[in-house]
Amino acid sequence: MKPISRWLLVPGLVLVSFLLAANLHEWLLVGVIKNPADIAQYPFGSEEAMGEGRWYYATAGLYARHMLISCLALLPAGFAFLRALLWRSGFRVAVAYGLLILTLLVSGMFNQYMSA
For each of the chain's 116 residues, which pLDDT tens digit applies?
788 899 999 999 999 999 999 999 999 999 999 999 999 999 999 888 888 778 999 999 999 999 999 999 999 999 999 999 999 999 999 999 999 999 999 999 998 898 87
According to the model, what pLDDT value does residue 38 have? 93
Domain assignment present for residue 51? The answer is yes
What predicted TM-score, i.e. pTM, was given to this entire model? 0.90
Range(s) of the domain holding residue 43: 6-115
What 88-91 contacts at long range (C-beta under 8 Å, 24+ apart), as own/partner pairs, is 88/3, 88/4, 88/5, 88/6, 89/1, 89/3, 89/4, 90/4
Domain assignment present for residue 22? The answer is yes
Tally the domains of the chain: 1
Domain assignment present for residue 86? The answer is yes
Domain assignment present for residue 52? The answer is yes
Domain assignment present for residue 107? The answer is yes
Domain assignment present for residue 1? The answer is no
